[in-house]
Amino acid sequence: MTAALRQAWVQLQGASLPYAAAALIFYAVSVVLMGQRWRLILRGMGQRVRLRDTTFTHLTSVFVNNVTPGRVGGEVFRVAMLRRRTGLPTRQVIASLGWDRLTDAVPVVLMLALSLPTLLRVLPVRVESPLRLGLGAAVAGLLAGWALWRWPRVVALRRRYVQKLAVFTIRRSELFAAMLLSCFLWALDSFRLWLVAAALQVPLSGWQAVPLSMVILLGGLFPTIGGLGAVEGGLTAALCLFGARLEQALAVTALERGISYVLATGAGGALLAALGGGSLWRTARGKQAAAQGGDAPAADPTQGLAAPGAGDASPARPLLPSELAAGPAAPLNH
């Protein structure tokens, strides 16, 4: 393994700069297009926002996603950041995020279907294995039984979700344009992975780049910070499955994560600091720590004390021992 890492480092040093630069440029373009897609969604909901607001919010949320596990913190941060920059109602921002994620459904389902043969080959048992068929049938049976058992509740939840979402309707023209843009974004992501492989002279077809995009997507859902470990392991395994040597797979994975994780996290963090979102980030972290710690913070000793001269509403000051011995003060003679 040590020898493979050394050879991967040698390959990284000999990477083609034009291909690597093109991959970096395409990643930056995809960030802007993500902001434009969100902007189209908001415009379809009757809200006009600037492209830089949605783009900057998305890039800063990439930083939050990459330093928190599960990719949930980034979505929450997107809502808070865009609301802070535009003043839009929180419920409307959340609804726009729901529509934004919905536009990914069609391309992701198509790409998963194309990636299914590769994903099945990654499994530890073969496709024709009786064990695999038995496990698949058992899982399908459990899912079907659960669906029949919980079907009334599922229908009720769906009806409630549709009713809530119907309040924030969107024009079909903007929704269709956002869906087309989403398909182009996923194709661009696969092409960027092909550029990364080409920079290291690793043979990779366009169709093989599609499963790599799905590996990154699924790896990012693992409950680790930024999907670390899951994404790298999945990419390396898939590249080896496609015929790349171990050192080549490690080099491609390192270059890809250097762009989509290291550089993107650094750019998002720097932008967050420049936009003054650091206080928002610290506040969110403080609330999370307080919720997880269980211990209430120490109270301020001066909290609850009224200012001098506040009248009868201020609490009485306890008497000192010398004042108790002297007795009540005599009234002043005028």
* DSSP assignment of 123-181: SSS-TT-HHHHHHHHHHHHHHHHHHHHSHHHHHHHHHHHHHHHHTT---HHHHHHHHHH
Cα-to-chain-centroid distance, residue 60: 10
Average pLDDT, whole number, for the chain?
Answer: 78
Instruction: Pick the more confident residue, 223 or 99.
Output: 99
How far apart are alpha carbons 334 and 140 in whole angstroms? Answer: 96
Please give the single-letter amino acid code of residue 32.
Answer: V
State residue 206's pLDDT score: 79
In 3D, which of 182, 17, 53 has the Cα closest to residue 110?
182
Tokens standing for residue 307: 């200012």
Whether 220 and 71 have beta carbons less than 8 Å apart is answered as yes
Whether the full predicted model's pTM is greater than 0.75, yes or no, is no
How far is CA 334 from each of CA 307, 331, rounded to the nearest angstrom? 28, 9
- DSSP-derived 3-state class of residue 334: coil
* Reported confidence tier of residue 32, pLDDT bands at 50, 70, 90: very high
Evaluate if residue 207 carries a pLDDT over 70: yes
Instruction: Pick the more confident residue, 124 or 244.
Output: 244
- For the ranges 60-69, 148-157, 270-279, the one whose mean pLDDT is highest: 60-69
Main-chain phi, psi angles of 14, to 5 degrees = -100, 20
In 3D, which of 286, 281, 283, 293 has the Cα closest to residue 67?
281
**What distance separates the 2 farthest-apart alpha carbons in the chain?**
108
Evaluate if residue 248 carries a pLDDT over 70: yes
Whether 184 and 33 have beta carbons less than 8 Å apart is answered as yes
State residue 285's pLDDT score: 56
* Reported confidence tier of residue 319, pLDDT bands at 50, 70, 90: very low
- For 209-218, what is each residue's pLDDT tens digit? 998 998 888 8
Tokens standing for residue 324: 């108790």
Q: Which of 3-7, 81-85, 98-102 has the lowest mean pLDDT?
A: 3-7
